[in-house]
């Protein structure tokens, strides 16, 4: 009876705080859900921004499946995953004989997405030449396959996604300003997990349930100390990293409850070591010396991984390299 009650409460919570497979009861996520609802039924182009692992593709799917285009196709493409010489053909298609291996006519992803939504993930990786062709396709609502001058009309809603600050790419002349404004009619920012820590218990519960449904060994939940460590951790890989950590812990757990020992060393060492601060105060160390000790402590906890250490410290890698060079008394180098 108790188990049934727990399962019922889980279903209620997930229904209340989920939006098309995206979970979140935090204020930042509720704002995301509200924005998705408001833009879904429009024809406006949307730019989804956020760090890797924050759920940008899920947000794009939520927009599509809550729009009038829901019966049409949802076609995602990662612009960074396709080699540059093939990208134009993938997006716009080609006609037979357009290039050496073009043995037959081929529809591109624009045509595949006709009547639906095309998600252009990692849009910042699109070469400038293709940016111009994309701009034309958006403005004219038509495309030209590689190897022909004949235009094909397309009815496609464009959602673009990036983990970069696209306006900075515009300033650096790496991204067309006119295309940026065409894509960024509405921006939806997916918050990093460290800005929505109150969602972590909800997400952990969902991941445990997902693993149980996949036939993995049943685990009732986490100990309070294990959950506290998950909430404290910086999550540089965001929700995707959390899911991987939960799956790992589930695999290693020796009992029905996940305990701190089942978590990766980096997560177990995520809390600020108060002893450093107490010891520094006792010895009246200058601030730069405290900083040096703390940086070294975080590097030890991350196994020397500078990228992860920078994420935990809340600084970029260049700043970390500069601080390490100062500590070692060497010229600044990223080598």
The pair phi, psi for residue 173, each rounded to 5°, is: 65, 25
The whole-number pLDDT of residue 245 equals 94
CA 7 – CA 238 distance, rounded (Å): 26
Q: State residue 270's pLDDT score.
A: 60
Mean pLDDT computed over 89-105: 80
Dihedral angle, C-alpha 251, 255, 256, 261, nearest 10 ° = -70
What is the per-residue burial (b if ≥16 Cβ within 10 Å, else e) of 82-99? beeeebbbbbbbbeeebe
Higher pLDDT among residues 289 and 149, named by residue? 149
Q: Report pLDDT digits (tens) over 155-166.
A: 999 999 999 999
Tokens of 133: 């062709």
What pLDDT is stored for residue 279 in this prediction? 62
Structural domains of the chain, ranges and CATH numbers in brackets: 27-189 (3.40.50.300), 193-268 (1.10.8.60), 274-328 (1.10.10.60)
- CA–CA gap between residue 145 and residue 93 (Å, rounded): 5
Stated pTM of the model: 0.77
List the alpha helices (DSSP H) in the chain. Answer: 2-17, 27-40, 56-65, 84-92, 109-112, 128-140, 166-171, 177-183, 200-213, 224-232, 238-252, 265-268, 274-282, 287-301, 306-313, 317-328
Distance between CA atoms of residues 57 and 211, nearest Å: 21
Whether 175 shows a pLDDT value over 90: the answer reads: yes
pLDDT tens digits, residue range 114-153?
999 999 999 999 999 999 999 999 999 999 988 888 899 9
Contact 145, 102 (CB under 8 A): no
246 falls in which pLDDT band (50, 70, 90)?
very high
Nearest CA among 228, 265, 233 for reference residue 249: 265
pLDDT, tens digit (0-9, with 9 covering 90-100), for 45-84: 999 999 999 999 999 999 999 999 999 999 999 999 998 8
pLDDT above 90 for 44: yes
For position 310, what pLDDT does the model report? 80
Does residue 335 carry a pLDDT above 50? no
Report the half-sphere exposure of 65 (CA within 13 A, side-chain side): 11
């Amino acid at each position: 009876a108790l188990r049934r009650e727990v399962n019922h409460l889980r279903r209620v919570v997930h229904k209340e705080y989920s939006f098309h497979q995206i979970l979140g009861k935090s204020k930042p996520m509720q704002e995301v859900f509200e924005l998705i609802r408001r833009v879904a039924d429009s024809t406006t182009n949307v730019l989804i921004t956020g760090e890797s692992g924050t759920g940008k593709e899920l947000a794009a799917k939520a927009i599509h499946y809550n729009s009038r285009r829901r019966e049409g196709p949802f076609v995602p493409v990662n612009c960074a995953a396709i080699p540059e010489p093939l990208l134009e053909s993938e997006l716009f298609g080609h006609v037979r004989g357009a290039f050496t291996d073009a043995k037959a006519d081929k529809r591109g992803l624009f045509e595949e997405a006709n009547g639906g939504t095309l998600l252009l993930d990692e849009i910042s990786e699109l070469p400038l030449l293709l940016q111009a062709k994309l701009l034309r396709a958006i403005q004219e609502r038509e495309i030209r396959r590689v190897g022909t001058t004949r235009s094909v009309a397309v009815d496609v809603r464009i959602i673009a996604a990036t983990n970069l600050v696209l306006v900075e790419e515009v300033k650096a002349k790496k991204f067309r300003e006119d295309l940026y404004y065409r894509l960024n009619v509405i921006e939806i920012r997916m918050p990093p997990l460290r800005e929505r820590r109150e969602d972590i218990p909800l997400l952990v519960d969902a991941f445990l349930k997902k693993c149980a449904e996949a036939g993995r060994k049943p685990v009732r939940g986490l100990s309070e100390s294990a959950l506290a460590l998950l909430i404290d951790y910086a999550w540089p890989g965001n929700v995707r990293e959390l899911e991987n950590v939960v799956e790992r812990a589930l695999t290693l757990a020796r009992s029905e409850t996940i305990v701190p020992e089942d978590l990766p060393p980096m997560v177990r060492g995520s809390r600020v070591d108060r002893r450093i601060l107490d010891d520094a105060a006792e010895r009246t160390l200058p601030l730069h010396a405290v900083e040096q000790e703390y940086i070294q402590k975080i590097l030890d906890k991350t196994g020397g991984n500078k990228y992860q250490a920078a994420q935990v410290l809340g600084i970029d890698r260049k700043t970390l390299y500069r601080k390490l060079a100062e500590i070692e008394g060497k010229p600044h180098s990223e080598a």
